[in-house]
Every structure is written in structure tokens, then in C-alpha cells.
Amino acid sequence: MKATAPAERPTAAKKAAPAKGAAPAQKTAPAQKTAPAQKTAPAKKAAPARKTAVKKAAVKQAAGKKAVAGAAVAEKAAAAKPWKNESHAALVRRARRIDRELAEVYPYAHPELDFENPFQLLIATVLSAQTTDLRVNQTTPTLFAKYPTPEDLAAANPEEVEEILRPCGFFRAKTKSAIGLSKALTEQFGGEVPGRLEDLVTLPGVGRKTAFVVLGNAFGRPGITVDTHFQRLVRRWQWTEETDPVKIEAAVGELFPRSDWTDLSHHVIWHGRRICHARKPACGACPIAPLCPAYGEGETDPEKAKKLLKYEKGGYPGQRLKPPQAYLDAGGKPAPPLGPGDGPVNPG
């Protein structure tokens, strides 16, 4: 019976059976452990990238629009370059067309100084140096009420005149000129304002610009008034490259009939004060933009340019306390009188 004992050894074989012992191997199956990889799905994390891509596209689109707008201005500027080399005949035609169009825009243009006679206009023009016509118009009623004639002003007490003229700025120098030219009128011209250029420029404080204002508006004798506005605009329009007022006067005078000179001066000066400003011209609201080589130097957006308009073009009062009826009929408003706290102002 002991010889049969080895027959029970298959029990050891059961211990080595791989069927039950292989169960731990299933626990390390990689298929289930890779599930966390689904948490790193890139679909949701890519959303910010799409937003930035949209923003970049919008920026590029806006830049493209600006580039197109800039190109349009550049094209207009480039189109203006031939005007630098235009013939004299073409320049004459363009200059006269500008004046005709300005005459339609400002049919009521007039000297913006209040006056009732040549003496008042002469004094007011002298006082307008380095200040506004508005401030002069607010000051002269008191001056002329107290000193209505050259004889009266010639005999005035300088200190009293200085106090009246203080709001105009440079009141001491202006008092000296006003009293001095009044004495000259009294002593040399019988108390009358002369109607000749060569006589007017001999008076204290009177130059060619002042003389032409008086000649053109008090005597009806044509003259070109080359003030700061006139100088700025005629150079922007490339009517001349001169900087000296006398040379500008001569150069522009050749482009127009003599009979147009006074009205031309009004049209140019009015346009310079209302639309074609020194620092920021309202190019987008300018009626002669197609004829202007300097288009684009200022604001070209029509709505923004409209906000830059001054005086009656912007709905504001003008500079004269007693403007002509034609100005009032066109919607212009008279200027307010001098207030108690009003002092000197810069020219405008």
C-alpha cells in the first residue's frame, strides 16, 4: 500500500495551476489605467486660443481699415503734389475758383471790426495787433465815447487811455500809437484820415496791412490784407511760397483782378478763422478740400471736423457787437459786450 503513495502528487500540480494564480495579472491591465488620459482632452482648453485668434483677426482687420484710410489720404496728398509744378495759368484758375467758392460760403464776409467812420476803423485796426477783433470791439465803444475825434484823442491823458485799452493787451504801446497817430492826423492832415497808402503808412503804428484795411473798407479802394490767417492759407494752397508779407501781397495780387482784392482778403481771413485753423484745420468740413494741396493736415473725419468749426459756422457768436444785417440774416449772432472780469486775450 505504501507503493501507491506517489499517486497523490497531482495535488502539487494543482498548486502550480496558472488559472487561479493569474488573477493578479488582470489587476495590472493597462486598458483601465489609461482612463485619466481622457481628462486632458484639448477641446475645452483650446477655447482661449480661439478667442485670442479672433482678437488678433479683429486687430488685423482694424489695422487694415486704418491702412486703407491712410492710403486714401496719401493718394490725395500725392494727387496734390502736381500742384507744386502747375503752370501759372493753372494756378490762376485754381486760385480764382477757390475765391469763388469761398464767396458762396461767406457771402456776408465783412471787416470784423466795429466802426462808423475811417478814424474809428484806423484806431481799431491798430489796436487789433496781438489780440482778437472781439476784444477790440468790446473796448472801443468806451474809447470812442470819450474821444470821438482825432483832436480829442490827441489831447487825451495817456494814463486814462491806458486804463481803457488795458483789455487789449500791450496797452501802453497801443496808447502811444493811438495818441501819436491822432496828433499826426490833427497836425498833418487837418484831422482827417488820408485816403492814400503812402500817407497812411507815415502814421505811428500804421503799416501796409492796417493801411489796406482802411483803404479797402473805409474808402472802397482795393487792397490785400496780409494778416497771419492770410499768410497761412495762401501757403497751404500753394499760391506762393513767400513768407514776407509784402512779397505775399505782390504774388497773390498777380493772381486776381485788382477789384477783387478787398473781398478776397475777407474770404481768406474768414475761412482761416472758422475752418482752416492754424493748429488743427477742419479738413473734413472744408468746402474747398478738393482744391487744397494741404488736405489731410487736419481732421478729415466729417463729424469730428464739424466740432472744430468756429463762430457762425459752429453756431457761436461772431466778433462784432454790431454786425451787418446780412450776417444776422445768415444766422450769425452778435458778440457779447465786455464783461467786468474780461482781460487781454491771445489773437484768434
According to the 3-state scheme, what is the secondary structure of 19-81?
Answer: HHHCHHHHHCCHHHHCHHHHHHCHHHHCHHHHHHHHHHHHHHHHHHHHHHHHHHHHHHHHHHH
Whether the Cβ atoms of residue 320 and residue 334 lie closer than 8 Å to each other? yes
**292 in a known ligand binding site:** yes
**Is residue 184 one of the residues assigned to a domain?**
yes
Site of grid cell 489780440: 131
Identify whether residues 231 and 323 lie together within a single domain.
Answer: no
pLDDT above 60 (res 6):
no
Identify whether residues 116 and 216 lie together within a single domain.
Answer: yes
pLDDT grade for 80, boundaries at 50, 70 and 90: very low
Identify whether residues 176 and 201 lie together within a single domain.
Answer: yes
Give pTM, 2 decimals: 0.76
Q: What is d(CA 156, CA 186) in angstroms, rounded to the nearest whole number?
A: 13
DSSP code for 332? -
pLDDT at 85: 81
Range of the domain at 190: 112-221+314-339
Identify whether residues 327 and 200 lie together within a single domain.
Answer: yes
Identify whether residues 120 and 208 lie together within a single domain.
Answer: yes
More confident position, 10 or 282: 282
**Which residues are known catalytic residues?**
209, 227
**Is residue 84 one of the residues assigned to a domain?**
yes
**168 in a known ligand binding site:** no
**Is residue 22 one of the residues assigned to a domain?**
no
Identify whether residues 234 and 263 lie together within a single domain.
Answer: yes
More confident position, 20 or 256: 256
pLDDT above 50 (res 10):
no
**286 in a known ligand binding site:** yes
| Among 280, 336, 254, 291, CA closest to 94 | 291
Residues 149-169 have pLDDT tens digits of: 999 999 999 999 999 999 999
**Is residue 66 one of the residues assigned to a domain?**
no
Identify whether residues 270 and 175 lie together within a single domain.
Answer: no
pLDDT above 60 (res 49):
no
Average pLDDT over residues 296-323: 97
**283 in a known ligand binding site:** yes
Identify whether residues 217 and 328 lie together within a single domain.
Answer: yes
pLDDT grade for 115, boundaries at 50, 70 and 90: very high
Site of grid cell 484768434: 348
pLDDT above 50 (res 221):
yes
Count of domains for the chain: 2
